[in-house]
Amino acid sequence: MKIIVDTCIWSLALRRDENTHALIVEELKKLIFDQKVQMIGPVRQELLSGIKSQKQFKTLKSCLSAFPDLTINTEDHELAAEFYNINRKKGIQGSNTDFLICALSYHNQMSIFTNDMDFKKFSRNIPVTLHKI
């Protein structure tokens, strides 16, 4: 089964100080080796946004091209909005991308690899599965 990897995990792995989060980085490497990583367009966009050097941008873009994007449908966007509304009623805020990740996870029966504690809060109100190391 594939696993949607959140932007925060990719960011940790792409930093030069990966020893700080060695367990997370090793898990991502294992998932890549086992071909279990699922990329989505919004995560790709977040990773590529804000890179100052065109050379670094092209290098990262090339590396990420190994991971095809999961197709996102209208139903995914609608469910993301529904998940947003459910959590907002409970006083829990999140980004549109976070709830899209949750919707894609649900529709495609994939877990989410993240260290963003918001997802733990979301999972109390909506049916998502978080990947455990």
In the predicted model, residues of the chain with pLDDT beneath 50 are: none
The type of residue at 49 is S
pLDDT of residue 14: 87
Q: Is the dihedral of CA 26, 7, 2, 63 positive or negative?
A: negative
Q: Provide the b/e sequence for 11-49 (b: ≥16 CB within 10 Å).
A: ebbeeeeeeebeebbebbeebeeeebbbbbebbbebbee
pLDDT of residue 106: 98
pLDDT of residue 104: 98
Confidence (pTM): 0.94
Domains, the chain, in order of start with CATH, read 1-133 (3.40.50.1010)
